[in-house]
Structure 1
Amino acid sequence: MEARPFTPMVQKLRTAGLRPTRQRMSLAKLLFDAGDRHVTAEQLHHEATAARVRVSLATVYNTLHQFTTAGLLREVVVQPGRSYFDTNTTDHHHFFIEANGHLEDIPGDSVAWARLPEPPKGTRIERVEVIVRVTRD
Structure 2
Amino acid sequence: MNDQASPLNDDGVDPAARAAGHQPALTGCPWHDVNEMLQAAGLRPTRQRMALGWLLFGKGARHLTAEMLYEEATLAKVPVSLATVYNTLNQLTDAGLLRQVSVDGTKTYFDTNVSAHHHFYLENNHELVDIPDPHLVLSKMPDVPEGYEIARVDMVVRLRKKR
State the TM-score, normalizing by the size of structure 1: 0.93
- Alignment correspondent of 1:40: 65
TM alignment of 1:115-126, pairs within 5 A: 115-126=140-151
RMSD value, Cα: 1.5
Contact 1:91 1:108 in 2 (8 A): no
Name the structure 2 match of 1:132.
157
Contact 2:30–2:58 at 8 Å: present in 1 too?
A: no
Give 1:108 deviation, angstroms.
Answer: 6.2
Aligned to 1:57: 82
Matched residues, percent identical?
52
Which residue is equivalent to 2:21? none
| Residue deviations 1:54-97 (CA, integer Å, cap 9, x gap) | 00000000000000000000111101121010001011000001
Judge conservation of contact 1:6–1:25 (CA < 8 Å) in 2. Answer: yes
Q: Distance in 1 between matches of 2:133 and 2:152?
A: 11
1:100 to 2:125 alignment: yes
- Counting matched residue pairs gives 135
Are the counterparts in 1 of residues 120 and 128 from structure 2 also a CA contact under 8 Å?
yes
User: What is the distance in 1 between the residues matched to 2:132 and 2:154?
Assistant: 11
Separation (CA, whole Å) in 2 of partners of 1:108 and 1:134: 16
Q: TM-score, normalised by structure 2?
A: 0.79
Q: Alpha-carbon deviation of 1:112?
A: 1.4
Instruction: Point out where structure 1 has 5 or more consecutive residues left out of the alignment.
Output: none
Residues 101, 110 of structure 1: CA spacing in aligned structure 2 closer, same or farther, 3 A cutoff?
farther
CA contact (8 A) 2:30 2:54 kept: no
Higher strand residue share: 1
Separation of aligned partners in 1, 2:134 and 2:32: 34
| Equivalent of 1:9 in 1, 11, 34 | 34
Paired amino acid for 1:80: G
Q: Give the whole-Å Cα distance in 2 for the aligned partners of 1:4 and 1:44.
A: 21
